Structure 1
Amino acid sequence: MSVTIHDIRWKASYLQVEYSGEADDHLFLYRVKSKQFVPFRTTLIDDGRYLGQVNLVLGGGREVLPKGEWILCTKIDDDLLTDLDTLLAAKPHLIKRIEHDARRKLPAALREDETAVSENIREFGLSRIAAHPYDMHDIVYDSAVLGRLDNLDRVFRYGKNHYAYAGVFVPKTNVEGRIYLVLDMSFYMRNKTPRRRVGSKRQREKDIFAVVYSMMTRLVPRKQDRILFFKENGDEPTENMAALRQRMYERGMQHEFDIRCRFRNVFAGKQRVLPWLRDLFAIARSKYIFIDDYTPVFNFIDPGDDVVLTQIWHAGVGFKSVGYARFGLKGSPDPYNSAHRRYTYALIGNRYLRTIYSEVFGIEEEALLATGMPRLDHFLDEETGKASRLEMVERYPWAEQGRVIVFAPTFRGTGQRTAHYPYDVIDMDQLYEMCVRTNSYFVFEMHHFIKRRPDIPEEYGDRIFDLSDESLNKLFFIADVLVTDYSSCFYDYLLLKKPVVFFVPDKTAYSLIRGVQRSVDELAPGAICNDFDEFMDVLEHSRYEAVTPHPSSIDRAIERSGLASDRAIDTIIYGKDVPGVCMSSNAHME
């Protein structure tokens, strides 16, 4: 059985779903938390096409549909829940859900123990499905429906418009990687002070941070010569930070300025008060602060007008949405109290990126300095390339024995805590066989947020490698082709004038759930592979060589000659008018 959703719409308080399927295909809304099914009342439109309706006012009996996430699904027949073999014979796809649940319920130390997983499946697999007998596997959606999800939100106002009951359709993916829709019903109350979240624990924390920081700035004078490199998502400086700091020392600025560093990871484990206080004190003492990537402490405090806070963003420009480009999606920034709004300046690779990063950071284009990326200061130097290649070849001699394919995808999830990659889309057997036939070496270079590394069979270890701990920029110098997806890493690689392949089997799901700022299909500067078979074919026959990058993608990868670090230092620290860095007064008229 298969159900195809052709249309979703609202008519007064009725949610209407138009779909095609068999006569016994009935749609439901299911809330996992309360184990509650709400059926659609179905009428036949024509042969094989139906209209299902739910009246939200009667969704909870004589109350509105209770708040929470309601999955659009079908219901598993009771006669399939007699034993596990019967269930899996009729619905073999459920084994992935059962296995996922089994691993999640086991202690962390046993989650990769296949014997323990199998025993757990046999003992509890059926009962867990019986407890929640919903299924989304056979429901598919017309692209037109998925394309207008943003227009399907519905708000019901009541109580003299002081209250609202709202429904939002949220796209998600299940353990199979298939898209399903959830109707998220919520109650809202008017907030007269939108800059403050009424009754929010997070708001109380922000208030405390702000008060403490304000006291520090009054009690401790700010050092006008203090430069601080500050990072909150890792214990080491980023390449941009390291390059900019190194250039300061090369110029002897340590004799003129007090250059300090503070790096720690606020996303790792439980956080204590003292480190946060030290963060606040370091900020309160500094005149110039350089950050790279999201720095959550600035959600809580405004550093002040006498501080120059510069985001030296590490990326060029990719396809995934970040910052305010994903406003309204899960994990998007607060419209008022966001770290991004605090920046005095942000560095960008070139002037073509101003519009994009103005949207990302929610700041005016004039605040974006087209300096180039400090980490690329010596990237194109002939000596740098030779030294990096020699270092990699000495460490990995196979790099000179065949074609090297570097696979560097971005993470899935909303951030560092939820970052993952769906390794199920990769068939290691086919990948290895392709490498053998074409004398290739395949290198995984996973995003540093992704904790789980690829499981490479031991017998494939002569052709497939996990080098995620290596410098990606150094790997570029032994790579013959780069494979990525929505990441910005191709920005650097294009500068070497080498081919790029984009492997995007979850393109629709990713664009709906994470969000993309630019279309992969329209602007990817390389071959696009929508499934694994196509991916293998492109690599097998080097079809990427025939793909000419879109001119606009090349424009956005242009790096100016000279040192980006010097342009940033001269503009930000010394207040010089460096040609081409600041936005010209007539730029909006160009």
Structure 2
Amino acid sequence: MAIVIEDISWERVFLRVTYRTDDGGSLKLFRVRSRQFASFREERERGEGASDEVVHATMNLTQGLGREPLGDGEWIFCQQVSPAEANLAWAREHAPYQIALAKKRLWGELGTLKRRRLARSGVDYAGFPFDDGQVDRDLRDHPFDTHGIAYREELVERMRDLSRVFRYVEGKYSMAASVLPETDATDYFIVKLAVDYYVKNKTPRTRRFSLRQLEKRAFRLYYHFARKLLRPKESTVLFLKENGEEPTENLAAVRDRMVERGLEEAFPVIERYRNTFTSRQSLGAWLKDIDAIARSRYIFIDDYCPVFNFIEPDRDTVLTQVWHAGVGFKSVGYARFGISGSPDPYQSAHRRYDYALVGNEQLRDIYAEVFGIEQEALLATGMPRLDHFLDADRQASAREDLLGRYPWMSQGRVIVFAPTFRGAGQKTAYYPYDTFIDYRALWEMCERTNSYFVFEMHHFIDERPEISPQYADRLFDLSDERLSELLSVADVLVTDYSSCFYDCLLLEKPVVFYVPDKVEYSATRGVQRSVDDMAPGIVCDTFPAFVEVLETAGYAAVPPDPSMIDRCLEGTGYAADRVIDTVLLGEDVPGVRCAGATRVRPEVRNGKLDKYNGYDDSDDSDDSDDSDD
């Protein structure tokens, strides 16, 4: 490794970087937009080895470009590449990752509409037939390299604390300098210095004029019109989902329990499920969503529902988030504030909820942060989808069905691999198979131990694992199956930052946590709890360690900590009833509400005494795609 960055710090407007190099490497900043380098002032001293140097690099942000400050935009920590190496011929032989990065940049230049059209046909930047001349020109225009730079783990863990804001002209303006850890198109960890300039805004709820602002205002006006026209005469209940075409298990559990209790006459049900993330959505589809909302008195949603970025249900409507997951390790919602993909602090679907469900009372602190709502709005009902999860008959039926379709499941150990996605949300979700998975090594381990390795990839991930025919007798992609049913035949679950391990613990089965990007993931995505400190099972940082744990069944010697199991209410089998009794019937169910709390009045939702009194609804915020489990 040419450069290892050991420390980044600030002294007034001076950005200071300490790094080691064993080949005379020199650190630079490069801004892709302007194809421009910025240099540090360096002091070098002899390191421990004969060729090792310790470099103290300094940059004054107000003089980053001579007598001008660094320009706005993202500046990448990198090394400058010589003209002899900044070309396609050299990259093919010595740095093929540079070609992938060049194609990703060229992909971005194709235009949004063309990229969407290609994506719908299954083509991405890696598969698009770029001309060699295009790639060569791009490499010459971007003569920098990041793959020769590494960062100390201790530094990566505190990078989010390295941002600075410099106010000037009596506080009317400011420069923000943010140290941003990211991963590039090849999943290599990189760091950027983002420089932004701001003008003071005395009314932060108000956003600049834009087409998006007009769209949101139009949707709000349409909702108010539709609400007056379609206002329900009965207590109509809407089950709504906008990131999939079927109800989630939580939604289905509440709906089915209503039918079992004969409540569908008193509470007529409307159901609407569609995926707003797969392609460009028509105006008619959005208006049908709003119509369904307008004719409903009670609305149940599961996961991120972007229509509520546009509209806020009126005070007679009760909106309940039936969040389907327990608490994993990764940050979601407002726990990611300030990180790429975080919600707007003033206008976000999460702020609209009258209620959100949690597994037990101990989770209120976490989900108050996640959704950005008060603890009194969190109902400790348990998860409706788990009401019958532990039923012996249900488990036996699921197992019988799977064994009938996959007989090999009864012939050896079944390892279910269910990681979460990488990326900001559904639109950008992926899993780095090439970096994290060695199919041959997995197959050989399965052969030696008579095991079967089952991929159950997150539903946001479009790309499936490419399992060669030679490995197809031991490795299987069953991502279309329900994880809750696969767990009935699993001998061990492998996951990472997801909360799906709770379900496995309820079945008293072991869990292995495979987290080769633990440090980078924490820095780029964010975690609410440390995997090392809290994971109820063996944590594997490398693929060889992961394979060894599976081969030796080392996980059997690590019993899970009982305190990690959300067992407070979920084992009773009455979560759906608690939801119905509390939300629809208005009953005070013991243990569901905060002590001494009453129903959260819709008119004080979002902390406003009256939702339409003095509220400026002009908004140009991005619709954050922060849905996950």
TM over 0.5: yes
Q: Hey, what does 2:322 align to over in structure 1?
A: 312
- The alpha carbon displacement at 1:552 in A equals 2.5
- Report the Cα distance in structure 1 between the residues aligned to 2:431 and 2:97, rounded to whole angstroms: 20
Match of 1:43 in 2: 43
1:352 matched to which residue of 2?
A: 362
State the alpha-carbon separation in 1 of the partners of residues 489 and 592 from structure 2.
Answer: 33
Change (3 A) 1:93 1:492: same
Q: 1-side partners of 2:144 and 2:596: how far apart?
A: 59
User: Structure 1 residues 82 and 447, CA, compared in 2 at 3 Å: closer, same or farther?
Assistant: closer
1:185 matched residue in structure 2 = 195
In the TM superposition, what is the alpha-carbon distance from 1:110 to its structure 2 partner?
9.4
Residue 139 (structure 1) aligns with:
149
Deviations 1:335-377 (A, max 9, x none): 1111111111111112221111111111122211111111111
CA drift at 1:168: 0.7
Residues 193, 101 of structure 1: alpha-carbon distance in 2 compared, 3 angstrom cutoff: closer
> Secondary structure, in 3 states, of the residue corresponding to 1:156?
strand
Of the candidates 161, 178, 191, which is equivalent to residue 168 of structure 1?
Answer: 178
User: Could you report, residue by residue, the CA deviation over 1:176-202 in whole angstroms, capped at 9, with x for unpaired residues?
Assistant: 433111011111121221122233543
Q: Following TM superposition, by how much is the alpha carbon of 1:422 offset from its aligned partner in structure 2, in angstroms?
A: 0.5
Deviations 1:463-507 (A, max 9, x none): 111111111111111111111111111111111000011110111
Which shows bigger deviation, 303-312 or 275-284? Answer: 275-284
Q: Distance in 2 between the 1:100 and 1:207 partners?
A: 35
Corresponding position: 1:459 with 2:470:
yes
Structure 1 residue 430 corresponds to structure 2 residue 435: no
* Structure 2 residue aligned with 1:53: 58
Match of 1:231 in 2: 241
Which residue pairs with 2:67 in the alignment?
62
Cα deviation, residue 441, structure 1: 0.5
- Counterpart in the other structure of 2:424: 414
Greater CA deviation, 47-56 or 330-339? 47-56
Q: Which amino acid aligns with 1:492?
A: D
1:518 is aligned to 2:529: yes
Q: Establish whether residue 403 from structure 1 lines up as the match of residue 413 from structure 2.
A: yes
Question: C-alpha distance in 1, partners of 2:156/2:18?
Answer: 14
| Residue aligned with 1:62, SS | coil
Report if aligned partners of 1:407, 1:442 keep a CA contact under 8 Å in 2.
Answer: yes
Match of 1:378 in 2: 388
Find 1:507's aligned residue among 518, 534, 539.
518
SS in 1 for 2:319: strand
1:78 matched to 2:83: yes
Q: Is the 8 A contact 1:228 1:259 kept in 2?
A: yes
**Aligned-partner Cα distance in 2 for 1:567–1:27:** 59
On the 8 A contact 2:5/2:20 being kept in 1, the answer is yes
**Equivalent residue number for residue 494 of structure 2:** 483
C-alpha contact 1:495 1:557 (8 A) present in aligned 2: no
The equivalences for 1:20-35 within 5 A come to 20-22=20-22, 24-35=24-35
Structure 1's 516 and 568: CA in aligned 2 closer, same or farther, altered over 3 A? Answer: same
Cα distance change of structure 1 residues 201 and 163 upon mapping to structure 2, 3 Å threshold: farther
Separation of aligned partners in 2, 1:162 and 1:113: 42
Q: Which residue of 2 aligns with 1:19?
A: 19
Q: Please, which moves more after superposition, 23-32 or 563-572?
A: 23-32
The structure 1 residue matched to 2:339, chosen from 329, 337, 340, is: 329
- Aligned-partner SS, 2:154: helix
Q: Distance in 1 between matches of 2:526 and 2:122?
A: 34
1:266 paired with 2:291, answer no
TM-score for both structures, normalised by structure 1: 0.93
User: Which residue is 1:551 aligned to?
Assistant: 562
- Listed one character per residue, the Cα deviations across residues 312-353 of structure 1 (whole Å, up to 9, x for unaligned) are 001111111111111111111111111111111111112221
- The residue aligned with 1:575 is 586
Q: Distance in 1 between matches of 2:72 and 2:562?
A: 48
Task: Give the 3-state SS of the residue equivalent to 2:77 in structure 1.
Answer: strand
Following TM superposition, by how much is the alpha carbon of 1:96 offset from its aligned partner in structure 2, in angstroms?
A: 5.4
Mapped pair 1:528 → 2:539: yes
Aligned residue identity for 1:60: L
1 CA distance for matches of 2:275 and 2:130?
35
Partner of 2:168: 158
| More moved, 59-68 vs 96-105 | 96-105
Per the TM alignment, residue 61 of structure 1 is displaced from its structure 2 partner at its CA by: 4.0
Deviation at 1:94, TM superposition (A): 4.1
Equivalent position of 1:198 in the other structure: 208
SS of alignment partner, residue 347 of structure 1? strand
Q: Give the whole-Å Cα distance in 1 for the aligned partners of 2:158 and 2:567.
A: 29
8 A Cα contact 2:339 2:524, kept in partner? yes
**Other structure's SS at 2:395 match:** helix
Structure 2 CA distance, aligned partners of 1:65 and 1:376? Answer: 54
Question: 1:44 Cα deviation (Å)?
Answer: 2.1
Amino acid at match of 1:273: L
1:561 corresponds to which residue? 572
Length, aligned pairs only:
584
Question: Quick one: distance in 2 between partners of 1:310 and 1:62?
Answer: 55
- Contact 1:289-1:308 at 8 Å conserved across structures: yes
1:441 equivalenced with 2:452 (yes/no): yes
In the aligned structure 2, how far is the partner of 1:540 from the partner of 1:207? Answer: 58
What secondary structure, in the 3-state scheme, does the structure 1 residue paired with 2:300 have?
strand
Do 2:297 and 2:316's aligned partners in 1 also have CA atoms closer than 8 Å? yes
Q: What corresponds to 2:310 in structure 1?
A: 300
Of 387-396 and 167-176, more deviation after overlay is shown by: 167-176
Structure of higher RCO (CA pairs closer than 8 Å, 6+ residues apart): 2
Structure 2 Cα separation of the partners of residues 457 and 251 of structure 1:
50
Q: Which residue of structure 2 aligns with residue 366 of structure 1?
A: 376
- Structure 2 CA distance, aligned partners of 1:91 and 1:226? 60
Whole-angstrom CA distance in 1 between matches of 2:26 and 2:330: 36
For 2:10, the equivalent position in structure 1 comes to 10
CA contact (8 A) 1:99 1:121 kept: no
2:398 aligned residue: 388
Q: CA deviation at 1:220?
A: 3.6
Mark the CA change 1:340 to 1:99 in structure 2 (over 3 Å): closer, same or farther: closer
Deviations 1:78-103 (A, max 9, x none): 23347724x55555664654676799
Deviation readout 1:205-261 (Å, 9 max, x if unpaired): 332222222233334433341111011111111111111111111111112221111
Query: For the structure 1 residues 55 and 23, does the alpha-carbon distance in structure 2 shift closer, same or farther, using more than 3 Å as the test?
Result: farther
Tell me the amino acid that sits aligned with residue 420 of structure 1: Y
Question: Aligned partners of 1:292 and 1:90: how far apart in 2?
Answer: 48
Residue aligned with 2:209, SS: coil
Counterpart for residue 276 of structure 1? 286
**Offset at residue 391 of structure 1 (A):** 0.4
CA distance in 1, matches of 2:201, 2:212: 16
1:514, 1:260 → 2: CA distance? 36
CA distance in structure 1 between the aligned counterparts of 2:243 and 2:569, rounded to whole angstroms: 28
Which structure 1 residue ranges, 5 or more long, are not aligned? none
- Equivalent position SS for 1:214: helix
Q: Quick check: 1:18–1:51 contact (8 Å CA) kept in 2?
A: yes
Question: Residue 497 of structure 1 aligns with which residue?
Answer: 508
Structure 2 unaligned residues grouped into runs of 5+ = 48-52, 599-629
User: Which residue is 1:149 aligned to?
Assistant: 159
> How much has 1:112 moved relative to structure 2?
9.0
- CA deviation profile, 1:125-177 (whole Å, cap 9, x unmatched): 54432221111112111223222222211222223322212111111112443
Contact 1:348 1:354 in 2 (8 A): yes
> Closer, same or farther in 2 for the Cα pair 1:388/1:557, shift >3 Å?
farther
8 Å Cα contact 2:88/2:139 also seen in 1? no
Q: Distance in 2 between matches of 1:157 and 1:336?
A: 23
Q: In structure 1, how many angstroms separate the alpha carbons of the residues matched to 2:97 and 2:174?
A: 39
Aligned to 2:623: none
Aligned partners of 1:103 and 1:395: how far apart in 2?
41
